[in-house]
Structure 1
Amino acid sequence: MGSSPEAVIIGAGFGGIGAAIALHRVGITDLAILEREDDLGGTWHVNRYPGLAVDIPSTTYSYSFEPNPNWTRLFAPGAELKRYADHVADKYSVRRFIRFGVAVQSAQWDEEQQRWRVTLDDGSTLTPRYLIAATGFLSQPHTPDIPGITEFAGTVVHTTAWDDDHDFTGKRVAIIGTGATAVQLIPELAKRAGRLTVFQRTPIWVVPKIDFPIPSPVRRLFGRVPAAQRAVRRVTDAIYEVIMIAGVLHFRQLNPLNRGVAQLGNAFRTVSVKDPKTRAALAPDYDFGCKRPTYSNEYYRSFNRPNVELQAGGIERITAEGIVTADGTAIDVDTLVLATGFDLWDANFPAIEIIGRDGRNLGKWWRDNRFQAYQGISMPMFPNLFNLAGPYSYSGLSYFTTIECEMIHLQRVLGEALRRDATVVEVTERANDAFLAAMTERLDDTVFNAGDCASSRSYYFNHAGEATLLRPTSTANAFRDAETFPLTDYDYA
């Protein structure tokens, strides 16, 4: 493979695809997209578990510049997201740049060559001028560190490595985790398992899911009149913006609205779960919005089934035969399902070792000096590096908002570099410090700082207890900043 493409993108999910489109728009077409999996789509390729679907309306969870009139439901199933990724990659001629089965080990800035040296797992290297890390938030699966987990003699299935051939029918199944993935999966397992034991560490806020099939005449209308679908998107965008602003960002000012949503969740749980003890155990004891909430019409009702049991007292250890709870109860298990999510802060920030100017290690620098990234994408001392989905980047509850803001950012910065005939761009310390100060101040009004999140165990918080994943501004503010930030916030050489 060629060693000196102009740009290397790590990851061929929706972020990597978007980054490639942005590079094309400014005339950079000498690029390579490195993807460790055998196909594109990121989380929508890796995840195939039963019940998989978006938890944001499909109209909002998609590129605004490439609407898809073919969604079959308001909340599309996962397979449709994978097909959408394939469609976009083909339409925008991205697939030809992707190298599958290529894992990146590290990247180091070469000051003399003014390029990045990207080392692959096979020992080979690439030396691009620009490096775009598009590994996403949810790329490193987490396996819980429970004593004895390697001793289990039955079948272990992680939701990110689903075994389509495994038959759960009549089996004694245990699932660890009650996050958004488990909320989708548990109702499906409950229909098949002889007995399903759900091990919960932290309850999740669940509200009703207003989902329905999109009739074929409506899909045909969307295909023929794209403005009609854009109008629907404006509605779904606005609803989720209100949820984000009222429930999370302006918790201090709009506390009654947050409490109202929480009361809806409590009422929904009350009417859905028959057993009072189970109902109480499923009740979160932290404020709505501290942990990403989710939507389901089936999750709570699953616990009314005679073959489903909730265990919320903790796990002491796993044995060859099953699971021993904290109170000493031994539960025999045939199949252990790990719905334990992803390792964000330990393994994903960054997902590979990145060394910038003067030997600055990005992971160590973040942990020693707070997680930070100018506009969620750039760090000082890391020239020509753009880290999509960095600290303070996630905006509006939809990953596509983040992607499109960063596409705009990339186009403006690299377009200016090309205009100046510059080969190196680097955000200034001044701009980075000012942005970090602004984000830190805005966090004071959010549910993360002003609410009660102590027991949430939310992935929004890093190990230092700072909620540095979400951008504490409106979506409109994120787009306005992407379109208008001073280009002089970067140095060009």
Structure 2
Amino acid sequence: MAMTDAREKQRSVAIIGAGMSGICTAIKLKEAGITDFTIYEKASEIGGTWRENTYPGCSCDVPLHMYQFSFDMRPDWERKFVFSADIKAYLESVVDKYGLRNHIRFNSEIQSCRFDERSGRWHIGCADGSAHEADVVAAGTGQLHRPRWPGIKGEGSFEGAHWHSAEWNHEYDLKGKRVAVIGNGASAIQFVPEVAKEAREVTVFQRSASWVLPRPQREFYGWERALYKAFPWLINVQRWKIYWFGELLFRAFHTSGDKIKDMAIEEMELYVSDPEKKAKLTPDYEPGCKRVLFANDWWPAMGKDHVHVVTEGIEEICPSGIKTKDGALHEVDAIIYGTGFDTTNFLGPMEVTGLAGRELKKEWKDGAEAHYGMTVTGFPNFFLLYGPNTNLGHNSIIFMIECQANYIRQCVEKLREDDLLYMDVKPKAQALWNEKVQSDNANSVFASGCTSWYKTDAGKVTNNWANYTFKYWWWTRRPDFAEFTLRERPGKNEGDREPAGAPVAAQ
């Protein structure tokens, strides 16, 4: 057999995005001795979601024990639920600790990825006009970073200040202002209470109410941090306690949601006395159909007399405010859009072209899907992180990301060790997997009838994982290479006369 030099054995990897997913993948590759990777980051800083969202009160609603990497648990956190700036600082320190900064190419937004099946390489085009190549692409672009604007008639006509929660205007003084908030999802429940502290009047334009439970926030005692530092295994014990609680929460979504309803309504009634406002703020769908939210200051804020809730649909936005479908004009000084993100359009505006010129957008015209949420047939050596049907309503996405990073690392090792041209998930494997995923979702609360960011306009659940996360770990702990078409490099063996891309049986 002809010897393959070390350079050819090393597989170059392009990681798209320097958020949680991209950073985790880079660390796992480096641990395996794979150092020929570049992280392409569209911004000038790392952080992904936690860089983009800086609105007042922005924090994580997952306990920090489950919202840091399992391989880099820190003992010096001050509170159980941390703010976005704390997570961003953690990620910055992780990048430096694992020597990733020199691998990051900042201000490099990827516009296109095109696969060349003869060379087995991806051709990558950036918005700045530069071109790059890689054997493998790992897309960690996430689901929660492209602001979604509602497209309301007259949106551009408003003469006051207006911005999206993910593009917060920190220069605007809210003191004494009349502020309209469009939307009441995960971001709004965090920033509305902060806005209400300063604004003269806050009007929340609500399409549907949210189930909101109290968040058990607390400061850590000094002795707790000292114990965690002296005995690091203790923080892992706490992590696993929280993990299994999350798995039990998943079960609650598939049985009766009455306990969640009772808790939410009980909390609301402690602070909101107006019967009309309470009726508006009580959801008409099962808990979990939309994301269940956790906050301690939402209900106190909604109980204030200067905070109003409008449920009449918005007709249009006018120069002086918002006109609702009942003909009322609500004059305001500022409009804040808490309308979430473009979640079902995975990979956003990026153009991805695979075998025989097939376009990923066309493959996903009926809703995105991927084998284990990571690979798509016809797009070899291309992996997604936090991809279709891997979002959670009951546990930490960091757990899923670590499963995916380990899976991708093993695939890159397979390509390198067997000197393969490429690997492409088989159509049957992808179809069987997605049949199971959609069956699980059809029997879950996610498909119980409400409108949510988990689903496409046609009603297909493309975002959520409707099963236990330990099952996902079990199924992805080792790739089953029989589920892939593996292609050798032409001329790999002496006397090899097969054409480029000759198939080889999976071992």
TM-score (norm 2): 0.91
User: What residue is the counterpart of 1:315 in the other structure?
Assistant: 314
- State the distance in 2 between where 1:344 and 1:429 align: 25
SS of residue in 2 equivalent to 1:317? strand
Match of 2:134 among 98, 107, 128: 128
- Kept in 2: contact 1:26–1:414 (CA 8 A): no
CA deviation digits over 1:194-253, x for unaligned, max 9? 111111111111011111111232122212211111111111111111112321xxx2xx
Q: How do 1:250-261 and structure 2 match up within 5 A?
A: 251=254, 255-256=255-256, 258-261=257-260
> Following the alignment from structure 1 to structure 2, what is the Cα–Cα distance between the partners of residues 211 and 461?
30
Residue 115 (structure 1) shift: 0.8
- Residue 226 of structure 2 corresponds to 220
- Which moves more between the two structures, 162-171 or 433-442? 433-442
Deviation digits for residues 267-321 of structure 1 (CA, Å, limit 9, x no counterpart):
2223331111001001111111001111112112212222211111121111111
Look at both structures and tell me which one has the larger radius of gyration over its CA atoms: 2
Q: Secondary structure at the match of 1:423?
A: strand
Pair 1:93-2:99 in alignment: yes
- Distance (whole Å) between structure 2 residues aligned to residue 94 and residue 423 of structure 1: 27
Distance in 1 between residues matched to 2:194 and 2:420, nearest whole Å: 55
In 1, the alpha carbon distance for the partners of 2:486 and 2:34 equals 17
CA shift at 1:345, angstroms?
1.9
- Choose 87-96 or 24-33, whichever is displaced more: 24-33
Overall identity of the aligned pairs, in %:
33
Q: Which runs of 4+ in 1 moved over 6 A?
A: none
Separation in 2 of the partners of 1:424 and 1:338?
44
SS of 1:173's partner is: strand
CA–CA distance in 2 between the matches of 1:185 and 1:445? 34
Distance 1:25 1:491 in 2: 27
Which segment is superposed worse, 438-447 or 311-320? 438-447
Root-mean-square deviation (Å): 1.7
Task: Give the 3-state SS of the residue equivalent to 1:310 in structure 2.
Answer: strand
Shift of the alpha carbon at 1:56?
Answer: 0.8
Task: Indicate whether 1:183 and 2:177 are aligned.
Answer: no
Alignment partners' CA distance in 2, 1:266 and 1:467: 28
Partner of 1:372: 369
| Residue equivalent to 1:63 | 69
Give how far 1:485 is off.
Answer: 4.3
Matches within 5 A, 1:237-276: 237-247=243-253, 251=254, 255-256=255-256, 258-276=257-275
Partner residue in 2 for 1:146: 152
| TM-score in terms of structure 1 length | 0.93
Q: Which moved more, 1:437-446 or 1:125-134?
A: 437-446
The Cα shift of 1:491 comes to 2.5
Q: Which residue in the other structure is 1:193 paired with?
A: 199
Please name the residue that 1:285 is paired with.
284
- Match of 2:433? 435
Kindly indicate whether the alpha-carbon contact (under 8 Å) linking 1:380 and 1:428 is maintained by their aligned counterparts in 2. yes
SS in 2 for 1:309: strand
SS at match of 1:426: strand
Residue of structure 2 in register with 1:410 after alignment: 408
Measure, in 2, the Cα distance between the counterparts of 1:102 and 1:60: 30
Deviations 1:315-343 (A, max 9, x none): 11111111112212112211111111101
> Structure 1: which 5+ residue stretches go unaligned?
none
Is it true that 1:13 corresponds to 2:19 in the alignment? yes
Query: What CA distance in whole angstroms lies between the structure 1 residues aligned with 2:138 and 2:458?
Result: 26
Instruction: Kindly provide the CA deviation profile for residues 28-50 of structure 1, in whole angstroms up to 9, marking residues without a partner as x.
Output: 21121111111001010111111
| Number of the residue aligned with 1:327 | 326
Return the offset for 1:5.
8.4
CA contact (8 A) 1:345 1:463 kept: no
Give 1:448's aligned residue: 446
Match of 1:478 in 2: 472
| Residue pair 2:141, 2:347 contacting (<8 A) in 1 also | no
More displaced stretch, 411-420 vs 286-295: 411-420
Which segment drifts farther, 263-272 or 14-23? 263-272
Deviations 1:52-104 (A, max 9, x none): 11011111111111112222111111111011111111111112111111111
Code of the residue aligned with 2:340 in structure 1: it is: G
187-196 vs 28-37, which moves further: 28-37
Query: Aligned in 2, Cα 1:115/1:484: closer, same or farther, shift over 3 Å?
Result: closer
Number of matched pairs: 477
Question: Greater CA deviation, 43-52 or 105-114?
Answer: 105-114
Please give the secondary structure, in 1, of the residue aligned with 2:59.
coil
Distance in 1 (CA, whole Å) between partners of 2:116 and 2:145 is: 27
SS at match of 1:118: strand
Are the aligned partners of 2:65 and 2:242 in contact in 1 as well (CA < 8 Å)? yes
Q: What is the CA–CA distance in structure 2 between the aligned matches of 1:246 and 1:487, rounded to whole Å?
A: 35
8 A contact 1:135–1:351 mirrored in 2: no
Deviation of the 1:463 alpha carbon: 2.6
Cα deviation 1:364-422 (Å, max 9, x = unaligned): 11124x53211110011000100112212234532202211101111221222222122
CA distance in 1, matches of 2:85, 2:222: 18
> What secondary structure does 1:132 align onto?
strand
